[in-house]
Amino acid sequence: MTGGAKREAESLNDSSKNHDDDALKKKKKVEENIVVVTTMSNTNENKIDEDLHSRQLAVYGRESFRKLVGAKVLISGLNGLGAEVAKNVILAGVKKVTLSDDCDATMSDLASQFYLTEEDCGKNRAESCAAKLQELNPAVEVVTVMTKDVTEDVLLAHDVVVVCDSSLHSQQDCEKWDEILRKEKGKAFIKGDTKGVFGSVFCDFGDSFTVVDQDGEEPKTCIIASISNEHPALVTCTDDERVELEEGDLVTFSEVKGMNELNSIKEGVKIKSVKKHGFELDIDASKFSQYVGGGIATQVKLPKEMKFKSFADSLKEPGEFLLSDFAKMERSPQIHLMFLTLEAWKSKNGGQLPQPGSDADAAVFVALAKDEVNAQYKSVEEVDEKLFATFAKTCRGDISPMAAMFGGIIGQEIVKACTGKFTPLNQFFYFDSCESLPEKLEEADLKPTGSRYDGQIQCFGQATQAIMEKQNVFLVGAGALGCEFIKNLALMGVSCGASGEGKLTITDDDIIEKSNLSRQFLFRDWDIKQPKSTCATNAAKKINSKLNVTALQNRVSPDTEEVFDDEFWGGLDVVVNALDNVNARLYVDSRCVYFEKPLLESGTLGTKCNTQMVVPHLTENYGASRDPPEKSAPMCTLHSFPHNIDHCLTWARSEFEGLFEKSPAEANAYLSKPDEYESNARANADASMRENVEKISQCLIHTRCATFQECINWARLRFQEYFHDRVAQLTFTFPEDAVTSTGNAFWSAPKRFPKPVIFSEKDDGHVNLLKAMAILKAELHGVTVGVPSAEVRGDEKAMNKIVVEMAAKVEVPVFVPKDGVKIETDPTKKEGDNDDNGMGGVEDDQIIDDLLTQLNNVRTSDLKGDAEYRLSVIEFEKDDDTNFHMECIAGLSNMRARNYDIAEVDKLQAKLIAGRIIPAIATTTAMATGLVCLELYKVIHKAPLESFRNTFANLALPLFAMAEPIAPKFQTYKDEKWSLWSRWIIEKDYTVRELLKYFEDKELECYSVSYGPALIYNAMFPRHKERMDQKLSELVQTVGKITFPAKRKHFDLIAATETTEGEDIDVPLISIVFR
């Protein structure tokens, strides 16, 4: 018997109370019918691969993730929805997934099931795709079992049971399974279904379910400035940040000096009267000790108990539905009744569904809903006959976007059931996207053709399918979002036309890393270090061999306009963004606006996602609304007064980049062209240039190393400077009892009084930091003398022993604080505003000249004039666990945290913060791409504005907020009307004079013309009159210092104009077609 079957049998035995012959026969039957795809070793029970799952750990945390990796999930029905759920759960990293299905694959399945091929038709769906699902995560045990063999014992051997295909289970079957699972605490039942553009989810987590964290957000904190001895006590917080606590929250206190009684109240204190910078405590503090200073108030996140009704009871009394679209307030009860009516229809018609597009079947379906089902359940006051007819005509459809969306939602509910992390759905969620459908649903058009797209044709029709296949689509990005989009587009038949009709172009300049594999499901272990776009394209061709796709490795930016030229943009039908940064999104958005192309935009952050539709002349563009910039800590806070671990990590990464990347890069710039560099430095002798030359001298003169012992010396002295000497100087300059010019305590909140760290060879944190810094320093200078072998470096105990022995040889000078040292305390000052490095009396040019002379001597003597000598610049890479980058940054940060008595973090937490890792999970990504692809149908059908939806969703709550996109703003003047989508196109290479005349003819005065940052003409500058008769194309290239690519036929100008009445007016971009 295989290991997986044995464990299954053992779990059945554990759950059974009667050990009679019948039970043994049942156990044997289970063993016979379970097919094990792989057997897993349990030697590393619940061990987390943090490199693989770092983005998920950023969402769930270790405690919840450990629960997840011990969970067992049964998924019944491997249609498109079932495959999506299985994919998401396996990527999440549960212990075991059992796939149950009695159905054989058909051509219609291929419209939504991405792990079935035409060769699988006629074979069992679960068995056909099990091996491919197993490839997603070798750490998950994947087994299959026939649905007819799913007994009570099999059900109870799993933590969560999910039904994804209603054709396998009647309503009575689902009620029975749910009741079985409700017998045991900790078991969950989930039922999902998609029919065309309609979908439903039901969750039952039992009579008592504990939500340990309702939203997944970090507890809110406040830094305390004062606390009064009153009833109620008034707490005033520092004015750095607004108090984000809410009325009725519980808070605990730490680090409060004087009023120590608050620190001891571990259960928390209730707050009230929350203001911008303070709140009241519902406690009598009149007899407490006097508040002296300090303190942090931290929100207490309380667990929540939830009680769920059974599936049978919920059908009769569904309660409140989770709303998704405020334009469809009464829609959920109607869809609830639709699915009940569909069950009644199936029972009357041998399990068959209404015929696609059939008016006759639709009429019977509506009558059944009105006369029988609603009469029994009383779900709605009046049946929406048009909506029910639409459902009846399209319910045979099975489309990829709906499977992706609901696969994401259900996948997240499974995680909630297994971990208690986030708030479960309570209990029904219904959704529809009727606006995606064509205007007319005709039986002849919706008739299946025997093709792989029949699941889509039975919902959207053959005409829509033909349009889809001819689309020219540009997908920007092949990461997590990109993989999901590629899969959806391939299943939908987008760009899959015969004879090469339609084309999908995918570009991504990134390569695959191990951490990608937990959510970028098209990639495997053997793809690591390969281009994302190429691997994604190869995987997509396996999903649908008819996909006409081209993979590129170019970043979409102004630098690649020769690749993505006018002809390329002009030939597109739609652009889909799958990017992870705002600047790239803005650039693509600007190209789409210029070429008047629809842009489908989306983004995710942990459990949150947003989608935005940008449709020419219908909506505003992506760049029309911008999030406010993230608040950054002042320079003086990072350098001298950190008060949280984020400050320490930001400082640590900055130091890392300065030591190993920026300074060495500057040194290499000097070494590559020393004469040119020296000439430029002397010609531009200012504080900024002096700083650059000093960086070079540090790298090549003062800290250049030739042996590993010298690298250790450097690391030990740098440790001393960072964590002892600087702090000793700071506390000498500002003693603990220092006061400000206004008489207030200098070291008042949020400042924390620091203490120097004394190096100890017995402290692993100290030794590990020295080790990481020395190894990186050796790499930087190409040191080989005395460097331990790779084998020794990989042995922490042996390597640390060597570091300790070498560090003991270093002579560390005794530090003596100095008077008159200036330490910046002004939070408004920025880096480099006024930094004279303690040499304020000496001119910059003299310092630069002296340093350049020293550098020249080193280059010609020590380096023996080696023109090829360069430093090995080290660029920060957070996801390589062998490069010592994160060890260095985490060590620097934690030593600084010790200076200021701030809680330290482990390497994973340091990676998440310092690496600026965006929390990401497969469930949110799948849902977001499903929502976007539903909007693609609307683009193809040229739907009106009111049909489109922008969405914000948070699966943790859960919350869905859909709204109609905002229309663009229009400007009118005289007889003309324009918006951001408008262009004034001039089919000639005008001179400046001719351009001004062009505006005069529109009764406008143009007083300034620019090309990007380059000012081409301004009426205020007399010398610009010399440009009046010059061609604009010549001026743009001369003034803008650019050369137009050979294929470039136009350029765009920004004109500042005013009316004849002297009022400024914004006009469209001026597009000059000069070739």
- Catalytic amino acids? 636
CA–CA dist 131, 115 (Å, integer): 9
Q: How far is Cα of residue 210 from the mean position of the Cα atoms in its chain?
A: 28
Alpha helices in 905-980 (DSSP H): 907-914, 922-940
Q: Quick one: which H or E segment has residue 88?
A: helix 80-92
Q: At residue 1060, what is the residue type?
A: T
Task: Tell me, rounded to whole angstroms, the distance of Cα 630 from its chain centroid.
Answer: 16
Q: Do 848 and 682 contact (CB within 8 A), yes or no? A: yes
Letter string b/e over residues 465-489, b meaning 16 or more CB atoms within 10 A of that residue's CB: bebbbbbbbbbbbbbbbbbbbbbbb
Tokens representing residue 995 in the block:
């351009």
199: nearest Cα among 407, 424, 367 = 407
Retrieve residue 543's tokens. Answer: 């999903």
Cβ neighbours for 691, distance < 8 A, ≥ 6 positions apart: 832, 835
Read off the amino acid at residue 662. Answer: K
Can you tell me the distance from the alpha carbon of 414 to that of 88, in angstroms, rounded to the nearest whole number?
10
Kindly state the tokens that stand for 889: 């940054």
Looking at the DSSP assignment, which residues form a beta bridge with residue 1008? 1018, 1056
Q: Which residues in 175-260 belong to E strands, given as ranges?
A: 188-195, 198-204, 209-211, 221-227, 233-237, 250-254
* 14 strand-pairing partners: none
CA atoms within a 13 Å half-sphere pointing along the CA-CB vector of 315: 16
757 touches 898 (CB < 8 A): yes
**Spatial contact of 100 and 147, defined as CB atoms under 8 Å apart:** yes
- For tokens 């003819």, the residue is 1001
**DSSP letter assigned to residue 251:** E
C-alpha closest to that of 488 among 447, 438, 547: 547
Q: Three-state DSSP class for 374?
A: helix
- Dihedral (Cα; 68, 73, 78, 80), 10-degree rounding: -30
CB within 8 Å of 548: residues ≥ 6 apart: 495, 496, 497, 500, 501, 502, 503, 504
CB 970 within 8 A of CB 977: yes
Interacting residues of 1001 by C-beta distance below 8 A, sequence separation 6+ = none
Q: Exposed, middle or buried by CB within 10 Å (0-12, 13-18, 19+), for 1033?
A: middle
Provide the 8-state DSSP code for 295: -
Measured distance CA(978)–CA(589) in Å, rounded = 18
Q: Which residues pair with 1051 in a beta bridge?
A: 1072
| DSSP class of 659 | I
| Rounded Cα distance, 821 and 837, in Å | 10
User: Given the DSSP bridges, would you call strands 1069-1073 and 983-986 parallel, antiparallel or unpaired?
Assistant: parallel
User: Residue 389 and residue 198: Cα distance in Å, rounded?
Assistant: 13
CA-CA distance, 500 to 487, in Å (whole number)? 19
C-alpha angle 508/509/512, rounded to 5°?
A: 85
Q: Which of 698, 756, 767, 766 lies closest to 730, judged by CA? A: 756
Residue with tokens 């650059």: 692
What 8-state DSSP symbol labels residue 820? T
209 neighbors 222 (Cβ within 8 angstroms): no
